Amino acid sequence: MIDNFSLLLTHGLLLLAAWRLLSRDDLDVDPPAEGDADA
Amino acid sequence: MHDLFLIGFLGALLVAGFRRPFLFVLGYVYVDIVAPQHLSYYLLNSIPISLIFFVAAVASWMMTGDKKAAAFGPRQAAMLILLLYCYVTTANADFPMEAQEKWSWVWKSLIFAVFLPLTLTTRLRIEALAVFMTLSAASIIIVGGIKTLSSGGGYGVLNLMSSSNTGLYESSTLACIAIALIPLILYLMRNGTIFPPEWRVTAFCLALSFACLLIPVGTEARTGLICIAVLGVLMLRATKKRFLYLSIVGALAIISIPFLPDSFTKRMDTLNEVQSDQSASTRLAVWKWTLDYVGDHPFGGGFDAYRGNSFRYETKPADSFDAAKGTSQSAVVVQDQARAYHSAYFEMLGEQGWLGLFIWLFIQLGGLVRMEVLRRRYRHSPADGDQWISQLATALQHGNIIYLIGAGFVGIAFQPFIYMLVGMQIGLDSYARRRRRAKTRNPLFATTTPRA
């Protein structure tokens, strides 16, 4: 019961993280201006 | 059901990896930490999932990875040298069979730590690694935390889903790593972009940190209590409102004592009774034996060389004092053999000799120094600029310090989770270096460069 709760919660969050990463362009290339243009 | 769920999860990660190859790296991290093959009853046991993810990660990096961004630093070289060195000591080990068994997972851990920084080319990748490491460890920590709350746990009693007792499923290891993870959890809570700061993220991170603090209670690993104390001191260093922090920590400590299980407080009491505690005496005897051993074998005895030890020592039973009679029982002579090192430092010394210990210390202490450099360099950067580098460096440094203190009492010199942390440190370091170079090359953006 506790095992399943923990597995479901963490694996759900891992999947959500992976899903969000799929649509992020800055995963593979850092946006050149981001952080630099903050003056 | 269990198995199908895990297979579905791994399948989803693999499919995602074909779209974004970095997910293969994250998949390997997950498999290495959680070891789903140990949680599975039948299906996954027969598939080499760790190998599949590793090959996919390396192959996709070779085909599509950004080689220009990949830097090879001195600590990566040190890990490669350590790997070769261990290979040689394994071939000449005192106990070839046992040494071979340890070598079979140590080399993977080292190779991955050398490879990992090559893939960490963007800020998001570094964060994604932190998220995957945290959530993977969380799957074990949450179980431990809830079971501690509901049952109180006990030394060697807390059931952590798997009976394998390897990796993070070993209770003393988990107690140390869980505490070392807290600074990283708090970093993600404040600086996450995959899970940006909001109340649910804050609630989860705080609850997870609490579960981490419960692990030393549940496992009754005394190392964990020392790690918590170190964490408390380190956080004092990082906090601005020190008086408020001290008051809160003090109040929490006093409030929590009545809630601690009886067996826990009893066991922790023995921390003061080094002389009368057999486990402490064994350690001291093993450490003394190790020092003698490397006197004769300066290059170490290969993995698991401790199996050759045997010694006699005197100890007093922990409850030897008879209050009624006012006397204490006489010392008991204990004959012991093949006792493990119970310390990463002596593990390195006994197994890999002085040279191995030196390389290992270079890898670990080098990380502390590099993180301190980054921490200071970016401390005054704009909050929406590069300040995160300073904060992440601080979290990784604190995690490393907690590990190094805890490792004084647990033989976890080759814990893969720590090598991932080292890999993240190296990745962050070379990422920051590339960024500075890019800025000096492009002076238009150089105005925000912090003092360096």
pLDDT tens digits, B235-292:
888 777 778 888 888 887 777 776 676 677 777 776 665 544 667 778 888 888 888 8
Sort strands B332-337 and B321-322 into parallel, antiparallel or unpaired: unpaired
- Which H or E run includes B197? none
Q: Do A6 and B195 make contact, defined as CB atoms within 8 angstroms?
A: no
pLDDT at B177: 95
Residue among A4, A10, A38 whose CB faces B384 most closely: A38
Matching residue, tokens 């946006």: A31
Half-sphere exposure of B357 (CA within 13 A, CB side): 18
Q: Do B12 and A28 make contact, defined as CB atoms within 8 angstroms?
A: no
Q: Chain B within 8 Å of A29 (Cβ-Cβ)?
A: yes
The B residues from 249 to 308 touching A (CB cutoff 8 Å) are none
Residue among B26, B139, B194 whose CB faces A20 most closely: B194
Q: Tens digit of pLDDT for each residue in B304-321?
A: 888 888 877 766 655 544
- Cβ contacts of B2 on chain A, cutoff 8 Å: 4
pLDDT at B433: 92
CA-wise closest residue to B423 among B61, B187, B104, B129: B129
- Chain A CA closest to residue B20: A22
Q: Which of A1, A4, A5, A7 is most worth mutating to test chain B (most B CB atoms within 10 A of its CB)?
A: A7
Structure tokens given for B110: 């080292």
Question: What are the angstrom distances between the C-alpha of B251 and each of B232, B237, B247?
Answer: 13, 19, 6
- Chain A CA closest to residue B159: A3
Matching residue, tokens 């402490």: B280
* Contact between B445 and B439 (Cβ < 8 Å): yes
Q: Do B142 and A10 make contact, defined as CB atoms within 8 angstroms?
A: yes
Q: Chain B within 8 Å of A21 (Cβ-Cβ)?
A: yes
- Which H or E run includes B199? helix B199-219
Residue among A2, A7, A26 whose CB faces B146 most closely: A2
Mean pLDDT of chain B: 85
C-alpha dihedral over B416, B421, B423, B425, to 10 degrees? -160
Most confident of B47-56, B150-159, B434-443: B47-56
Please identify every stretch of chain A with a pLDDT value under 50, giving residue numbers as ranges: 34-39
Q: Chain B within 8 Å of A1 (Cβ-Cβ)?
A: no
The residue-averaged pLDDT of B141-150 equals 90
Residue among A3, A24, A27 whose CB faces B161 most closely: A3
